[in-house]
A and B are shown apart, each in its own frame.
Chain A
């Protein structure tokens, strides 16, 4: 009686074990395909020179990429940034600067200036040359 039971269980196991193993391996596709990730726009491949800015597709792509870069800038944590090492910075090449157009500058709003501490200012020796002497204020 007991041997018959063991034989039956053995037969069932002989059929079930390979069947289960085979069915687990029989996947029709890569399961990763089901995992839909929220992808960010890959704007690096955009060729602006070939874009027709009258085409709604091109305009939409530009809008998407601009919005994405703006939001990624806003997400930057400036507090965690290391202090900038100015000593490693190259000197500015003033020769390449365009001449400043002073005519386009706005007039200074003196009312918003904080009170200046005149005591810390160096006095110039030639008072005549300095027409804006604060002592005359």
Chain B
């Protein structure tokens, strides 16, 4: 009985402390003030684990079709390039101002950080379709078909190998 009372008091104290932190306004939510290393690590690990688990059963189609590149290229230019950049564009207002900073998809990343090509394709599909909470990444699946999202995944796969001239041709409007 005594232990229950202590637990109840602790819970009340915890709740009161949380409410004090929440409503006092001492937490800085400004995007130009980065998280502490530990908070950043906690959020990043949580995000990566969540995406990996949610995307694990997604079946990856053939992503080598030229038609997919053309379809995905136009969408990438208008939906993604302002944040995730493109060949010849190293930074933008969005890539500088957003926090967490959106990854630059026009440069190649070491594959061991993200797993195999297939795992990376699954992850990209899931992120494009569902978005990421409180990060600036929208859920494009609400307005775009899976086919169009896979086309973007196919384009992103080839993006780091493209020159600015190739990018221009592939993303231009007919």
Binding site for B on A (CB under 8 A): 28-29, 33, 36, 38-43, 45-46, 56-57, 59-61, 63-65, 67-68, 71
- Number of A-B residue pairs, CB cutoff 8 Å, is 57
Q: A42-B168, A46-B169 are in contact. List 10 more A-B contacts (CB 8 A).
A: A33-B93, A40-B173, A42-B165, A42-B172, A43-B169, A57-B66, A63-B66, A63-B70, A64-B169, A64-B170
Chain B residues closer than 8 Å to A41, beta-carbon distance: 168-169, 172
The answer to whether B69 has its CB under 8 Å from any CB of chain A is yes
* B155-174 interface bits toward A, Cβ cutoff 8 Å, 1 = contact, 0 = none: 00010011001101110111
- The complex places the Cα of A36 from the Cα of B148 at a distance, in Å, of 21
The answer to whether B32 has its CB under 8 Å from any CB of chain A is no
- The complex places the Cα of A65 from the Cα of B165 at a distance, in Å, of 13
- The complex places the Cα of A64 from the Cα of B78 at a distance, in Å, of 17
Chain B residues closer than 8 Å to A71, beta-carbon distance: 174
The answer to whether B64 has its CB under 8 Å from any CB of chain A is yes
Chain B residues closer than 8 Å to A29, beta-carbon distance: 93
Chain A residues closer than 8 Å to B64, beta-carbon distance: 56
Complex contact A56–B174 (CB within 8 A):
no
Chain A residues closer than 8 Å to B168, beta-carbon distance: 39, 41-42
Complex contact A60–B78 (CB within 8 A):
no
Complex contact A40–B172 (CB within 8 A):
yes
Tell me the smallest distance from the CB of B147 to a CB of chain A, in Å: 16
- B127-174 interface (Cβ within 8 A of A): 158, 161-162, 165-166, 168-170, 172-174
Closest to B154 in A: A56
Count how many chain B residues have C-beta atoms less than 8 Å from C-beta atoms of the other chain: 21
Our pick among B78, B162, B172 for the contact of A57 (Cβ within 8 Å) is B162
Chain B residues closer than 8 Å to A61, beta-carbon distance: 166, 169-170
Chain B residues closer than 8 Å to A36, beta-carbon distance: 78
Our pick among B158, B165, B172 for the contact of A56 (Cβ within 8 Å) is B158
Tell me the smallest distance from the CB of A57 to a CB of chain B, in Å: 6
- The complex places the Cα of A38 from the Cα of B173 at a distance, in Å, of 6
Tell me the smallest distance from the CB of B123 to a CB of chain A, in Å: 21
The answer to whether B44 has its CB under 8 Å from any CB of chain A is no
- The complex places the Cα of A57 from the Cα of B87 at a distance, in Å, of 15
The 8 closest A-B pairs by CB, nearest first: A60-B66, A41-B172, A59-B66, A60-B69, A38-B173, A41-B169, A56-B66, A45-B165
- The complex places the Cα of A86 from the Cα of B90 at a distance, in Å, of 54
- The complex places the Cα of A63 from the Cα of B170 at a distance, in Å, of 10
Chain B residues closer than 8 Å to A57, beta-carbon distance: 66, 69, 158, 161-162, 166, 170
- B76-90 interface (Cβ within 8 A of A): 78
Closest to B78 in A: A36
Closest to B163 in A: A45
Interface centre among A36, A39, A57, A59 (most CB of B within 10 A): A57
